[in-house]
Homo-oligomer: A and B are copies of this chain.
Amino acid sequence: MAGTADDPIAELLTTYNELNGSTIEELHQEPSPLEFMRYVAKNTPFVVRRAAKGWQASRTWSAAYLKEALADETVNVAVTPMGLKSSNADSPTRMEGSGELVFAKPWEEDQPFPEFLDFVIAQENEVAASTPSEIRYAQTQNDNFRHEYVSLFAHVQPDIPFARIALDRDPEAINLWIGNSRSVTALHKDNYENIYVQVLGRKHFVLMPPLCQPCVNEQPLKPATYVRRGGNDDAGLELKLDSVGEGEGEGEGGGDGNVPFATWDPDTSGPNETAYSKLAEPMRVTLDPGDMLYLPAMWYHKVSQSCLDDDICVAVNYWYDMDFSGPLYPMCNFVRSTYMSQS
Contact = CB atoms under 8 A, between A and B. Distances in A.
A211 B327 contact: yes
Contacts of A337: 8, 11-12
Contact of A341 (B8, B34, B330): B8
Nearest to A331: B331
Contacts of A325: 19-20, 42, 44
Interface in A9-52: 9, 11-12, 15-16, 19-20, 33-34, 37-38, 40-44
A114 interface: no
Contact of A326 (B8, B43, B324): B43
A341 B6 contact: yes
Contact of A34 (B9, B33, B331, B335): B33
Nearest to A33: B34
A333 interface: yes
Interface size class of A (residues with CB under 8 A): 35 or more
A323 interface: yes
Given A34-B37, A34-B165, A38-B37, A12 B331 contact: yes
A333 B7 CA distance: 12
A206 interface: no
A341 to B, nearest CB: 6
Interface in A200-227: 209-211
Nearest to A167: B38
Interface string A284-327: 00000000000000000000000000000000000000011111
A338 interface: yes
| Number of copies of chain A assembled together | 2
A320 to B, nearest CB: 13
Contacts of A166: 34, 37-38
Contacts of A33: 34
Q: Which of A8, A327, A335 is the most central at the interface, judged by chain B CB atoms within 10 Å of its CB?
A: A327
Contacts of A165: 34
A115 interface: no
A328 interface: yes
A61 interface: no
A41 B34 CA distance: 11
A329 interface: yes
Q: Which of A40, A165, A334 is the most central at the interface, judged by chain B CB atoms within 10 Å of its CB?
A: A334
Contacts of A20: 325-326
Given A15-B330, A34-B165, A211-B334, 11 more contacts: A11-B334, A12-B330, A12-B337, A15-B333, A15-B334, A16-B330, A41-B326, A42-B323, A328-B331, A334-B338, A338-B338
14 contacts: A12-B337, A15-B329, A15-B334, A16-B330, A33-B34, A34-B37, A37-B37, A38-B166, A40-B41, A44-B325, A211-B331, A327-B331, A331-B331, A331-B335
Interface of A: 6, 8-9, 11-12, 15-16, 19-20, 33-34, 37-38, 40-44, 165-166, 168, 209-211, 323-335, 337-338, 341
